[in-house]
Amino acid sequence: MADAPRVYTRLKRSPVSLGTYTSLWSAADHLMQVESNGYSENYARFHFADIQGFFIGPSNRRLNWNLFWGVVALFACLPLLAALARSERIGLSIVFLAVASVFLIWNNALGPSCRVYVVTRVQTAPLGALVRRRKAVKILGRLQPLIEDAQRSLVTPTTVNATADNPPPPDVPLTSSTPLL
């Protein structure tokens, strides 16, 4: 028996955060976010026809990880410097310093962090899988043609002609001579 065609394509899976993760999936007509903790999953679907936009804002994720790995490197560096001053063996602290330095460099190489929100007609929801700006812009660029195609099918030639034949009324001035009570 032939395998059924794949309906979803995984766009991004967030790094594990205290036992939970969020993944972002794309289908032909919608975007789906899955939040899982290993025991249960929550699904959120955003139909391409309903998406009005995305917000990308800054986050402190990169700064927080830099502070964490910087403190680990500092605490690993103190016994190392003390051992070097007394001409002793440097021991295990060099390993902690090397690990902290690698993760500190890696965190900065990933680029700035961000928070991404999807805006629909009825809600503004966070997309937890998109945490780095470079990856978020790349994935939103992949989604843009799908959203445009879905929304292009909503506008029919009859609605375009109807609005061309009946233009909207002229704007009402903001000031009026009648007092408002």
Among 152, 138, 148, 146, CA closest to 56: 138
Among 30, 31, 5, CA closest to 128: 31
Q: Quote the CA–CA distance of 84 and 76 in Å, as a whole number.
A: 13
State yes or no: pLDDT of 141 exceeds 90.
yes
Domain ranges of the chain: 9-55+114-125+133-150, 61-109
> Given this model, what pLDDT does residue 180 score?
44
Q: Which residue has the higher pLDDT, 57 or 163?
A: 57
Task: Report pLDDT digits (tens) over 27-53.
Answer: 988 999 999 888 898 999 999 999 999
Tokens representing 52 are 């009005």
- C-beta of residue 48 within 8 angstroms of C-beta of residue 146: yes
Task: Report pLDDT digits (tens) over 107-121.
Answer: 999 999 999 999 998
Q: Tell me the CA distances in angstroms from 94 to 82, 90, 101, one per residue in order.
A: 12, 7, 10
The conformational region for residue 3 under phi > 0 = left, psi -120 to 50 = alpha, else beta, is beta
Q: What is the pTM (predicted TM-score) of this model?
A: 0.72
Task: Report pLDDT digits (tens) over 11-30.
Answer: 988 766 677 888 999 998 89
- Give every strand in the sheet of 124-126, ordered side by side: 53-58, 114-119, 124-126
Task: Report pLDDT digits (tens) over 62-92.
Answer: 999 999 999 999 988 888 787 777 777 777 7
Task: Report pLDDT digits (tens) over 146-179.
Answer: 999 988 877 666 655 555 566 555 554 544 444 4
Q: Which residue has the higher pLDDT, 176 or 105?
A: 105
- C-beta of residue 118 within 8 angstroms of C-beta of residue 108: no
